[in-house]
A = this chain, B = another copy of it.
């Protein structure tokens, strides 16, 4: 086993990886940009080295600096987390040349599965059902129109190198195609340096369901059940759960087997995720593979009892998977909320800034994977993910109620967060009954939040607290051990303004 691992990432996922390392007795090395000197992953690491200015392109994306740091620190392996360089085959190759283990798949498998068109070809070969469309890049708008006509409109024009909702266009008819084709190509070129696009049939109200797989370097691949990721906003996952309320054991097995077959076909090892679209008739179609740890891996950990990061490290060290497929059992249900520094009351505008107070939920069945602390300033340079809140329950209902309880306990002061938005989702009848699809959030946002929050005592308490806080700052209240009271005279400015006692009836 490794004695020292460098984590080439920041924030919550770097902290997550370091926790696994600590529990394995592995020393951890952090890297940080100039904006991140005080970031939690630097504090949690046993070693930490600067790798450049705030922009990711000059720090977290610099393969040369990361490898140099690994060599200097004597790290035997590099964990890339998710995002940044995690799906960059160049890093995997550079590691190999430097004699450092990349905790991920081989560069070859990453390339095979990383390109969406290449992954679609592999899936075709493995006999895994695909969303109808092309498995090669399209040469012209005319070719795109021909293909679209054969699969039937509406279709999606998608970047082969895509991700994060970029280089995507929905096309509803042939005359929209030329503009959409052009726009998708140019966006793809800008975002990924690769303008290849292909076509997929657009499914109405599909569900996004993904299968977690684990493979070792000895050809063993298993799956750990599914995650339902249909709760999305702007093509970005917001909430995930496992198991999916849609799947039964038979369908889980069929999807799991398809995912394992495809991973084997690609010679894949490490943790990985096969994303599928599922239509209203419960047909599933392979969409793409993520050749890395997912943001939402904790829901799978909660129901399987496995530590996926430790599994990644074991496999990277060349050890065989310690489990067989038949030993994998799902227990209960788990949900994850991605807590972002963004303002749901203001069009989800990102809200970096100083966290003045922080109170995280705790107690039974609650896990908080946070990358922040009170006193820290969320920088403007990176993803505004603050924390992932996971609730487990013996069944979906208990997990839901626990999540609601945990959200009520969560307090992040000083910045706006989307915590209150999750409370809305968790009251939505469709959500509660498991009728999920990628349009749920947009429908929810189209309605205005209920105004009954002004009806109960909370509003009175809030108004009073705001006034007490404002008055305290002006030096107008006494906060003794017996409680807050308003003095009869203002002390600070010396004005002799007597407090008028209100003639109120006592209850």
A15, A25, A364 pick with most chain B CB within 10 angstroms: A364
Cβ-based interface call for A474 (8 A): no
Contact B367 A23 (CB under 8 A): no
**Which stretch in A48-56, A261-269, A300-308 binds the other chain?**
A300-308
Interface readout for A38-51 with B: 1 if CB under 8 Å, 0 if not? 00000000000000
Take A23-B401, A305-B332, A405-B22 as given contacts and tell me if A362 and B364 are in contact as well, using a CB distance cutoff of 8 Å. Answer: no
For residue A25, which residue of chain B has the nearest CB? Answer: B401
User: Which residues in B have their C-beta under 8 angstroms from that of A15?
Assistant: 363
For the complex, count residues of A whose C-beta is within 8 A of B: 36
Give the residue name and chain of the B residue nearest to A34 (CB): B482
Partner of A331 from B301, B307, B331 at Cβ < 8 Å: B331
Asked if B360 contacts A362 (CB within 8 A), the reply is yes
CB pair A23 B398 closer than 8 Å: yes
Which residues A277-300 have CB closer than 8 A to chain B? 298
* Interfacial chain B residues near A402, Cβ < 8 Å: 23
A359 on the interface (CB 8 Å rule)? yes
A334 to chain B, nearest CB (A): 11
A464 an interface residue at 8 Å Cβ cutoff? Answer: no
Q: Which of chain A's residues 318-375 have a Cβ closer than 8 Å to chain B?
A: 331-332, 359-360, 362-370, 373
**Which 7 residue pairs of A and B lie closest in terms of their CB atoms, listed nearest first?**
A23-B401, A19-B363, A22-B405, A362-B368, A23-B405, A23-B402, A305-B394
25 A-B pairs with CB atoms under 8 Å apart are A16-B363, A19-B363, A20-B364, A22-B408, A23-B402, A23-B404, A23-B405, A24-B401, A37-B483, A301-B364, A305-B332, A306-B394, A307-B364, A307-B394, A307-B398, A360-B360, A360-B362, A362-B362, A362-B367, A362-B368, A362-B369, A362-B370, A363-B367, A363-B369, A364-B369
Closest to A366 in B: B367
Neighbouring B residues of A359 by C-beta, 8 Å:
373
Residues in B neighbouring A367, C-beta threshold 8 A: 362-364, 366
CA distance A398 to B19 in the complex (A): 12
Instruction: A404 to B363: give the CA distance in the assembly, Å.
Output: 19
Flag A389-408 by CB within 8 Å of B: 1 or 0 each: 00000100010011011001
A483 to B19, CA, bound (A): 26
Apart from A24-B401, A37-B483, A362-B369: 14 A-B pairs, beta carbons within 8 A = A20-B364, A22-B408, A23-B401, A23-B404, A23-B405, A305-B332, A305-B394, A306-B394, A307-B364, A360-B360, A362-B367, A363-B367, A363-B368, A363-B369
